[in-house]
Structure 1
Amino acid sequence: MTQTMPEPAVAAGEDPRRYAQLLSNVYDAIMTGARPPARPRDIIADSWRRLQRSGINPDFGVTVRPVAGDELEDLRRSSGLAEVYDGISHALESITADTENILVVADRSGRVLWRAGPTPVLAHADRLGFVLGANWSETTVGTNAIGTALVSRRSVQIFSAEHYVRTHHAWTCAGAPVRDPRDGRVLGAIDVSGPARTVHPTTIALVDAVAKLTESQLREVHRKSLDRLRTVAAPVLAKSGGPALAIDSHGWVAAVEGIAPQNRLALPDQMEAGQAWLPALGLCVCEPIPGGWLVRPVRDAATPTAPTAVEVDLRGGQPQLTVAGPCGNWTTTLTPRHAEILFVLATHRDGCTARQLAEHLFGDASRAVTVRAELLRLRRHLGAVVLGQPYRFDPNAIVAVHVPTDPSHLLPGSTAPAVVQARTPR
């Protein structure tokens, strides 16, 4: 998606106290159905609409029990962020040491995994329930930098009465999502919070930069894991006696023998030893090896045919594609861009040219080259699911798209014109 500079909540030169009073008037008007004296920022208005439709109480939010002890440790280990937390803490030390700000790192569901900062500010956060193990998602505590960054999938700064729950109006926070470089999924969010008087327009840019640095560190962690897998797999591939690949649990290829090189394979969400149909290779035998899988295509297996049933599920936080066909069933998690593409193709069964897809995805037909590159990646990853010239699902496939009951929850971080139009009530 197009990268843009994150928007500060309070512009440079703006009087925070005067602006906080204006926001309070805007908040009170909107919550009571009156005409507000000004419009909230788009990202705030979108969040408030989501929460009003969900029935979240602006006075209290929703009470969810914090996790602790072994349960918290399990969440930390499974978050994918434990290996890079020290780097995050060090990078943001300048605005959490000897200041009134605290650092918080949350997982993809909004659970607070780590906190750091001055004791008085942590104690203030405790009184808000902003504690280790607390759920800080939008649907629990309303508009906030952690929950709203996770929903919108972009960096956001929230100031004073931009928070949906009244008890948070004395705070300001800046949060940025952290994406897994292996599959594009959001792993969690980095947040810097403090009293509203500490708001500063540069904080959001710093938090955004640290999130990108964290993704670079995760990319390096992944590279090293592939190197280790490659070392383990080399003698195994040399003795395999035929075409084979060594892949990690996300489908990234570490080593290959006798097969055209490729970067990644689409895998079932639950890999098991034995035979499996992989869309890029057909029927394969999969064997676990340290750090991943040895995959060997079955010789003389029937060429995979077009899928007979395709389901695109956009109802949860992570879009998924499920395919059922004559060679078996498989499910894979979609990147946000691939989810947008499949949503458009599912609503245009006759197909789209690259220029038409560019209009639907970017509102700009001249970005056809970008679309072709993305479709090349998608088709390499998903095999026979999408056909070309024009881009389309196979005409004989049964395609179903599952969308949220509330249209405003459809791919909430997407700015694609086709998705934005589908969110608009008719």
Structure 2
Amino acid sequence: MDVARLAVQDAAQAARVLREVREARLAGHRGRIAPRPVIEQSWGRMLRNGVDPDHDFRSGLLSADEVRRRREESPLRDVLPVLREGLLSVADVAQHIMVVADADGRVLWREGSSRVLRKADGLGFELGADWREDVVGTNGVGTPAVVRRPVQVFAAEHFVRSHASWTCSGAPITDPRDGTLLGVVDVSGPLETMHPATLAWVNSVAKLAEARLRELHLDSLERLRAVAAPVLARLPGRALVVDADGWIAAVTGMPCPRRLALPKSLSPGLRRLPALGLCSVEPLGGGWLLRRADEPVPADGGRLVLDLSRPGRPALTVGGDADSWTRELSPRHAELLYLLAVRRAGRSAAGLAEDVFGDASRTVTVRAEMSRVRRYLGALLEHRPYRFREDARIEVLFPDDPRDLLPHSTAPAVTEGRTPGHRSR
């Protein structure tokens, strides 16, 4: 069923059909029409996680001060002009609103039609509201954050009954530097106001926002490089300058990686850093000057914790002799590290291509991604075949239900791993 087209032709009929589909699924059987796959998978997660389909239970709104703090700290504030220019002029005319939420599903900005904003208040679509999928059910903010792709949710495709008069089109916005989730931009309104092209429109504007973030990052690195170059020119030995996120601005006396993994709470002084060993750390121009000491990097493989327990928010924590650090993973890197963690003997590029794409010939893509992974894992990851160091201690934190393993993924090997009792558990 083409829900979007049906909604344009006859919104009332679309609402009735979707209500029948939803009631049949909640009753535990299939009706004459199956829900769309992305919706059915989301409903499955809600049923397994105990979300109440008849009542909207959620945590309270964030305070005004907390909303303000999150706005100030969110990189999304820098792309609000792009989002407003691309969405608001049309949204207001079409009786929609634009909503921007952070990676935690909290609504930080909302603008658009005043009439629709008043309706949104009645649905709890307010500033500071919590719209995570596992709290509010299938929706246009929480579901795109979990599956990491654009999703349109029509009327009764919302899992919670009270949202059935609403329709949302949401797209994730990711950090172009490392693929981590920054938040979701959503255009919402009554069912009868939506158009089949709304989702493509929202996704296009989200991509423009990501492109703007990429430009801003390159500009900041150039400013740091201008400060770093004369400092490094006067220094003997091995040194480099990185921004606050570990991206390299300048280097001398050593190979130049693109990025270093830094501890979350890096501070000045002598610090042991992943892939570098003991370093002198000094603040410089909004970044850090790192001067390599002569002490060798410890031989211990260290401990790695691959956290896949939170749908849509995979993360890797590395600790051992060096200061521990945590990195949120992009969807593709989460797939690759999961496969290497459960197959410690290693996989060739062709093997990983078969695991991820079902096509052993896609080795170029795999090698490019693994090269990016090795930039932050360094000596912890070996190749030919790709594998973790033999002395590395690896723990994988799985979701409570194996069917919730990396819900964004369509990789054949991940799909296989979702089977209850599968050996990779």
Q: d(CA) in 1 for partners of 2:419 and 2:412? A: 11
* Higher deviation after alignment, 376-385 or 113-122: 376-385
Work out whether 1:51 is the aligned partner of 2:46: yes
2:304 corresponding residue in structure 1: 310
SS at match of 2:305: strand
Q: d(CA) in 2 for partners of 1:192 and 1:321? A: 32
Alignment gaps of 5+ in structure 2: none
The structure-2 alpha-carbon separation of the partners of 1:30 and 1:293, relative to structure 1 and needing over 3 Å to count, comes to same
Q: d(CA) in 1 for partners of 2:155 and 2:291? A: 57
SS at match of 1:233: helix
2:330 to 312, 330, 335: 335
Q: Is 1:267–1:332's contact at 8 Å kept on the other side of the alignment?
A: no
Deviation at 1:328, TM superposition (A): 5.2
Q: Is 1:184–1:335's contact at 8 Å kept on the other side of the alignment?
A: yes
1:30 to 8, 25, 29: 25
Query: Given residue 285 of structure 1, which amino acid in structure 2 is its aligned partner?
Result: S
Query: Given residue 315 of structure 1, which amino acid in structure 2 is its aligned partner?
Result: S
Work out whether 1:231 is the aligned partner of 2:226: yes
Q: d(CA) in 2 for partners of 1:224 and 1:9? A: 43
| Mapping for residues 170-181 of structure 1, pairs under 5 Å | 170-181=165-176
Q: Is 1:279–1:304's contact at 8 Å kept on the other side of the alignment?
A: no
Deviation at 1:320, TM superposition (A): 2.6
The structure-2 alpha-carbon separation of the partners of 1:8 and 1:239, relative to structure 1 and needing over 3 Å to count, comes to farther
Q: Is 1:149–1:177's contact at 8 Å kept on the other side of the alignment?
A: yes
Query: Given residue 374 of structure 2, which amino acid in structure 1 is its aligned partner?
Result: R
Q: d(CA) in 1 for partners of 2:327 and 2:248? A: 16
Q: Is 2:3–2:14's contact at 8 Å kept on the other side of the alignment?
A: no
Q: d(CA) in 2 for partners of 1:189 and 1:329? A: 29
Q: Deviations over 1:342-368 (max 9, x none)?
A: 110111111111111111111111111
* Higher deviation after alignment, 93-102 or 329-338: 329-338
Give the count of matched residue pairs: 419
Q: Is 1:102–1:193's contact at 8 Å kept on the other side of the alignment?
A: yes
Q: Is 1:306–1:385's contact at 8 Å kept on the other side of the alignment?
A: no
* Higher deviation after alignment, 206-215 or 121-130: 121-130
Q: Is 2:276–2:292's contact at 8 Å kept on the other side of the alignment?
A: yes
- Identity over aligned pairs, percent: 49
1:96 corresponding residue in structure 2: 91
The structure-2 alpha-carbon separation of the partners of 1:190 and 1:206, relative to structure 1 and needing over 3 Å to count, comes to same
Alignment gaps of 5+ in structure 1: 1-6
1:3 corresponding residue in structure 2: none
2:70 corresponding residue in structure 1: 75
1:109 to 104, 115, 131: 104
* Higher deviation after alignment, 276-285 or 392-401: 276-285
SS at match of 1:154: coil
SS at match of 2:109: strand
Q: Deviations over 1:236-268 (max 9, x none)?
A: 222322221110111111111222222111222
2:130 corresponding residue in structure 1: 135
2:278 to 276, 283, 286: 283
SS at match of 1:260: coil
Q: d(CA) in 2 for partners of 1:278 and 1:197? A: 55
| Mapping for residues 13-412 of structure 1, pairs under 5 Å | 15-299=10-294, 301-316=295-310, 317-327=312-322, 329-412=324-407
Query: Given residue 10 of structure 1, which amino acid in structure 2 is its aligned partner?
Result: A
**CA RMSD, 1 decimal:** 1.9
Q: Is 1:225–1:291's contact at 8 Å kept on the other side of the alignment?
A: no
Q: d(CA) in 2 for partners of 1:324 and 1:122? A: 47
Deviation at 1:392, TM superposition (A): 1.0
Deviation at 1:16, TM superposition (A): 3.7
SS at match of 1:283: strand
2:4 corresponding residue in structure 1: 10
* Higher deviation after alignment, 280-289 or 340-349: 280-289
Q: d(CA) in 2 for partners of 1:398 and 1:69? A: 44
The structure-2 alpha-carbon separation of the partners of 1:335 and 1:305, relative to structure 1 and needing over 3 Å to count, comes to farther
Q: d(CA) in 2 for partners of 1:96 and 1:51? A: 30
SS at match of 1:129: coil
Give TM-score, length-normalised by structure 2.
0.93
Q: Is 1:268–1:332's contact at 8 Å kept on the other side of the alignment?
A: no
SS at match of 2:205: helix
Query: Given residue 351 of structure 1, which amino acid in structure 2 is its aligned partner?
Result: G
